[in-house]
Chains A and B, each alone.
Chain A
Amino acid sequence: SQTIHQWPATLVQPVGSPLSLECTVEGTSNPNLYWYRQAAGRGLQLLFYSVGIGQISSEVPQNLSASRPQDRQFILSSKKLLLSDSGFYLCAWSVVVDEKLFFGSGTQLSVL
Chain B
Amino acid sequence: SQQGEEDPQALSIQEGENATMNCSYKTSINNLQWYRQNSGRGLVHLILIRSNEREKHSGRLRVTLDTSKKSSSLLITASRAADTASYFCATEETSGSRLTFGEGTQLTVNP
Contact, CB under 8 Å: A103 / B88: no
Interface stretch of the complex, out of A13-21, A75-83, A104-112: A104-112
> What mask results when residues 77 to 112 of chain A are scored 1 for a CB within 8 Å of chain B, else 0?
000000000001010100000111111111010000
Q: Kindly provide the distance from the CB of B61 to the nearest chain A CB, expressed in whole angstroms.
A: 15
Chain A: interface secondary structure? Answer: strand
Interface centre among A49, A59, A88, A100 (most CB of B within 10 A): A100
Q: Kindly provide the distance from the CB of B33 to the nearest chain A CB, expressed in whole angstroms.
A: 7
Contact, CB under 8 Å: B99 / A90: no
> How many chain B residues touch the partner (CB < 8 A)?
21
Could you tell me the distance between the alpha carbons of A49 and B100 in the complex, rounded to whole angstroms? 13
> What mask results when residues 10 to 47 of chain B are scored 1 for a CB within 8 Å of chain A, else 0?
00000000000000000000010101000011111100
Could you tell me the distance between the alpha carbons of A11 and B98 in the complex, rounded to whole angstroms? 28
A49-B98, A100-B33, A103-B42 as given contacts; A43 in contact with B103, CB under 8 Å: yes
Q: Which of A43, A90, A102 contacts B45 (CB under 8 A)?
A: A102
Contact, CB under 8 Å: A46 / B45: no
Contact, CB under 8 Å: B98 / A98: yes
Contact, CB under 8 Å: B40 / A43: no
Could you tell me the distance between the alpha carbons of A35 and B104 in the complex, rounded to whole angstroms? 19
> What mask results when residues 1 to 24 of chain A are scored 1 for a CB within 8 Å of chain B, else 0?
000001000000000000000000
Contact, CB under 8 Å: A99 / B92: yes
A99-B33, A99-B92, A100-B48 as given contacts; A106 in contact with B41, CB under 8 Å: yes
Contact, CB under 8 Å: A43 / B33: no
Contact, CB under 8 Å: A43 / B42: no
Contact, CB under 8 Å: B31 / A99: yes
User: Given the complex, which residues of A lie within 8 Å of B35, measured CB to CB?
Assistant: 101
Chain A residues at the B interface, C-beta cutoff of 8 Å: 6, 42-44, 46, 49, 59, 88, 90, 92, 98-106, 108
